Amino acid sequence: MTGPAPTDSLTDVAGIEVGHFTDPRRPTGCTVVLAREGAVGGVDVRGAAPGTRETDLLEPGNTVGVVHAVLLSGGSAYGLDAAGGVMRWLEAHGIGLEVGAARVPIVPAAVLFDLGLGDARIRPDAAAGAAACAAASRAPVAQGNVGAGAGATVAKMFGMARAMKGGIGSASITIGGVTVGALVACNALGDVRDPDSGQLVAGARGADGTGFVDTRRALLAGEPPLPILAGTQTTIGVIATDAQLDKAQARRLAQVGHDGLARSIDPVHTLSDGDTLFVLATGGAPRRSDAPGMTVLCVMAAEVVARATVRAVRAARSLEVGGLWLPAASDFEVPRR
């Protein structure tokens, strides 16, 4: 089989579950990707302002080789608290690294900034992380204004008044019995573009609030960006595969996954973004003669990251909070017949 996997989302990867917690009090939340049986992990951080946890552990030369979950969260650095709830939930379910005196779940995490929408004192905590775990399943992944994508926004180079709603999206591909999927929470400073058509899907709007100015072209034409605080953006995500990989290969897959961000976000990896991609390799795919090697797996990873990023904004819905209106891509796109 070649092409989109059955649900065209991350849960097509054997051994992977996804759960969201969306806080009803303001647009924020967190998303957990569970690998109950453990998975080989990797990570690559390209943005200049990341908020992360347990990334050093994933270095190929370091000892621990198994990851049990990855957390993606809103709430900026405060959102890292939600990883404690993920750990406690996993511990209660007997999942973790056996160290003799205890069982320690390994939970890398990354956060994005959404504190500018609503009451910044409300952010994902340990209870939110546990709730996301309790909601996790193999069902098709919910996308748009949910979980870590609830408070995500994009296209903010010229200020929030000209920005649009971001979100969370997913995609997957199967080739030769091996599946690669991605889950991306897109909260980028830059515009989001469909790499297949070259068309902007969500971008900085004109001064009158209508139409796209094309951020890259506007900057090159001399329009200055508004002052931007470091760390107030960030796109984060998880690539998962059932291929059998070691830690070095998992890291390589995370590295090339950023090619998918570069195809779909413009500009990307800025001084204000903390763009981070994790990899989970469950190893559940049977060995087959026609299974893809690393070159094809890398192409698959970049492709699903690009598709998931575009879907994150296409699945999003417009939002009004505190007098700020954030339109969604669907408000600008012509309905397809």
Q: Are 32 and 68 in contact (CB under 8 A)?
A: no
Q: Where are the domains of the chain?
A: 2-331
Mean pLDDT of 128-134: 98
pLDDT digits (tens, 9 = 90+) for 8-27: 999 999 999 999 999 999 99
Place of tokens 């590295």: 255
Amino acid 28: pLDDT: 98
With cut-offs at 50, 70 and 90, classify the pLDDT of residue 3.
low
Count Cα neighbours of 329 within 13 Å in the Cβ-side half-sphere.
25
- pLDDT exceeds cutoff 60 at 149: yes
Mean pLDDT of 207-234: 88
**Partner residues linked to 262 by β-bridges:** none
**What rounded mean pLDDT belongs to the chain?**
94
Amino acid 2: pLDDT: 57
- pLDDT exceeds cutoff 90 at 58: yes
Phi then psi for residue 111, to 5 deg, are -125, 160
pLDDT digits (tens, 9 = 90+) for 185-195: 999 999 999 99
Mean pLDDT of 253-280: 96
- pLDDT exceeds cutoff 60 at 93: yes
**Per-residue tokens: 14:** 């054997």
Phi then psi for residue 20, to 5 deg, are -115, 150
Mean pLDDT of 292-305: 96
Q: Are 260 and 311 in contact (CB under 8 A)?
A: no
Amino acid 160: pLDDT: 92
Q: 2-331 sits in which CATH class?
A: alpha beta
Higher pLDDT among residues 310 and 336, named by residue: 310
**Per-residue tokens: 126:** 């340990």
- pLDDT exceeds cutoff 50 at 56: yes
